[in-house]
Amino acid sequence: MKRIKTLSAAALLAVTTGQSLAADITVEIQNLSHGLYFTPIAALVHSPDASLFEVGETASTELQMMAEGGSLDGITSIATATSADMITNPAGGLLAPTMSASADIMTTDGNTELSVVAMILPSNDGFIGLDNWEIPTEAGTYSVYINAYDAGTEANDELRGSGAPGMAGMPVPPPLDPLLGTGGSGVAAADANPTVHIHRGNIGDDSLTDGASDVSNSVHRWLNPVAKVTVTVR
């Protein structure tokens, strides 16, 4: 089934597929990591012809805004342009390690796919991503484990920064501030892979005052999967 690959909100159009599905569902997202935080989460139920990201393709501006700074403004624009059903920020802020957040959503006819995104902290442009998961039509509870992706839009230098799109450096909200170092020289230059791809994880180091990274190698490293999504269909 063909999907729209261009993610610009101005270019995406609402699509009527002819397939009817209206269901009351609950979406729960659990942070499976040891020391990572997720920025406010967006979960979209949309048509099969829409997509928030495609692995191996260049990230859209909207995805870049989310992956580098945690902003959902662009994702909300995509949801509006594609007539998606959307829940945002079910955790009421950052989702801490081991914690879960959930929300109910009534889907619209023709919206049959679930996508979930949120920025990973600390990271330069890492995000959790569930892409176009088809929601079962039979009532029940279903779980899927999801990976961390690299948006390919910023070098993984692992240094403190503003998190503004196009600017180097990681945003550091208060819960992470005392756990991160300063004065790092930078882990990596420009990423050799400029497309969305599986994230290699943080490298980090054991210094809070110098070294290559401002990230702790004993707290903020990870292996996939990093999150669990549980969908209850009624």
Q: Spell out the per-residue pLDDT of the chain, length 234, in tens.
A: 333 333 333 232 222 233 344 568 999 999 999 999 999 999 999 999 999 999 999 999 999 999 999 999 999 999 999 999 999 999 999 999 999 999 999 999 999 999 999 999 999 999 999 999 999 999 999 999 999 999 999 999 999 998 988 888 999 999 899 989 999 999 976 678 999 999 999 999 999 899 999 999 999 999 999 999 999 999
Under DSSP, the state recorded for 177 is: G
d(CA 86, CA 17): 19
CATH number at residue 82: 2.60.40.2130
Residue 128, helix vs strand vs coil:
strand
| List of residues 6+ apart from 230 with CB closer than 8 A | 27, 28, 30, 102, 141, 142, 143
- Domain that includes residue 62, residue range: 1-234
d(CA 76, CA 36): 24
Query: pLDDT digit string (tens) for 53-108?
Result: 999 999 999 999 999 999 999 999 999 999 999 999 999 999 999 999 999 999 99
Q: How many domains does the chain have?
A: 1
Q: Please tell me the pTM assigned to this model.
A: 0.88
